[in-house]
């Protein structure tokens, strides 16, 4: 122990690993988001539900507006929508006052069962997801997940995904903790449940900017998925049907948002993940962790 350190204390680990030495070991875990990342190509399940539920309260919102807060816990998502100037003004015009916390709760109480009901029709896994998880486990890696969905929603989703070959060892949902995205708290819970550290040994994969921010805040490698996710916003069939120029433009916009949130690299879908892990481990071998910034594409 150094003389300047107080007796009875242990120095905290650095961002890269124990003590002050950079972490050079292998990757230990991947933490996935769910909708738009592992399942529900295009993250379609919540969109129609938001539009329909707001309509029940006399408020018209667009799919584009509904997508603006994807990745947040759903109550926070509803609050964000009600704070958008156009929607806030529409609420005031209909009800003669600004929206209050009780209004958020009432809309949420209608939204939650409607979202649960929409899950079975939108539970198909993203192509390649089951294979990637199998390959990760063959490497000895652990599989965790965080989500903006609640436990009630995931209780429906989990068995449907399991039948398609997608199983995770840890699931942390919106509402499990007092703090959700973009804080790192759900990631910290995942580290504990999986028994993995340091953060530089963990990769977060997500299709939303707020999910990328969550991974970065936790000190993990954060990889964005553009084409299967919320930013691209189309089913696989519709995405495949786009003209090349339209596809490239839409992909670039989704990737830009993820990069701006701090993504170390952006891929199209989880099917493209394995080469990224090799690139991360090659960089770790040089002593450079996530704090060194983006990976070379």
Q: pLDDT in tens for each of the 297 residues of the chain? A: 333 333 332 223 334 444 568 999 899 999 999 999 999 999 998 888 999 999 999 999 998 898 888 888 889 999 999 999 999 999 999 999 999 999 999 999 999 999 999 999 999 999 999 999 999 999 999 999 999 999 999 999 999 999 999 999 999 999 999 999 999 999 999 999 999 999 999 999 999 999 999 999 999 999 999 999 999 999 999 999 999 999 999 999 999 999 999 999 999 999 999 999 999 999 999 999 999 999 986
Domains in the chain, ordered, with CATH? 29-43+122-287 (3.40.50.1000), 46-121 (1.10.150.240)
The residues annotated with a catalytic role in the active site are 33, 74
Strands (E), 43-166: 142-147
The answer to whether the bond into 266 is cis (omega within 30° of 0) is: no
What gap in Å lies between CA 198 and CA 89, rounded to an integer? 47
- Residue in the block written with tokens 């609640």: 150
Output Rg (C-alpha) for the chain, integer angstroms. 20
Q: Which residues contact 20 (CB under 8 A, 6 or more apart)?
A: 14
Nearest residue to 150 (alpha-carbon basis) of 184, 111, 207, 101: 111
- Determine how many CB atoms are found less than 10 A away from the CB of residue 48: 16
pTM: 0.87
> Which H or E run contains 53?
helix 45-56
DSSP-based three-state secondary structure for 149: coil
What gap in Å lies between CA 264 and CA 261, rounded to an integer? 9
What's the number of CA atoms in the CB half-sphere (13 Å) around residue 37?
Answer: 27
* Beta carbons of 37 and 225 less than 8 angstroms apart: yes
What gap in Å lies between CA 40 and CA 157, rounded to an integer? 10
Take residue 47 and report the two structure tokens written for it. Answer: 């969109």
């Amino acid at each position: 122990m150094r003389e300047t350190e107080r007796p009875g204390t242990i120095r905290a680990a650095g961002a890269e690993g124990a003590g002050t030495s950079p972490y050079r070991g292998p990757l230990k875990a991947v933490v996935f988001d769910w909708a738009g990342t592992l399942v529900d190509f295009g993250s379609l399940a919540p969109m129609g539900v938001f539009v329909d539920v707001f309509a029940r309260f006399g408020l018209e919102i667009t799919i584009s507006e509904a997508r603006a807060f994807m990745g947040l816990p759903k109550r926070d998502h509803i609050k964000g929508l009600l704070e958008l100037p156009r929607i806030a003004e529409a609420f005031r015009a209909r009800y003669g006052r600004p929206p209050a916390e009780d209004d958020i709760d009432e809309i949420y109480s209608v939204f939650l069962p409607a979202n649960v009901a929409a899950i079975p029709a939108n539970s198909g896994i993203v192509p390649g997801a089951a294979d990637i998880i199998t390959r990760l486990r063959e490497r000895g890696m652990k599989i965790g997940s965080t989500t903006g969905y609640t436990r009630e929603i995931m209780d429906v989703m989990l068995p449907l995904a399991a039948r398609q070959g997608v199983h995770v060892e840890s699931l942390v949902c919106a509402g499990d903790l007092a703090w959700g995205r973009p804080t790192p708290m759900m990631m910290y819970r995942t580290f504990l449940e999986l028994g993995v550290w340091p953060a530089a040994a963990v990769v977060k994969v997500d299709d939303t900017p707020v999910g990328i921010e969550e991974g970065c805040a936790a000190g993990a490698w954060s990889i964005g998925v553009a084409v299967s996710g919320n930013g691209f916003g189309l089913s696989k069939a519709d995405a495949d049907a786009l003209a090349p120029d339209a596809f490239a433009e839409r992909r670039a916009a989704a990737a830009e948002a993820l990069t701006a949130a701090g993504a170390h690299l952006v891929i199209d879908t989880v099917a493209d993940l394995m080469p990224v892990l090799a690139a991360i481990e090659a960089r770790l071998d040089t002593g450079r962790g996530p704090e060194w910034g983006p990976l070379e594409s």
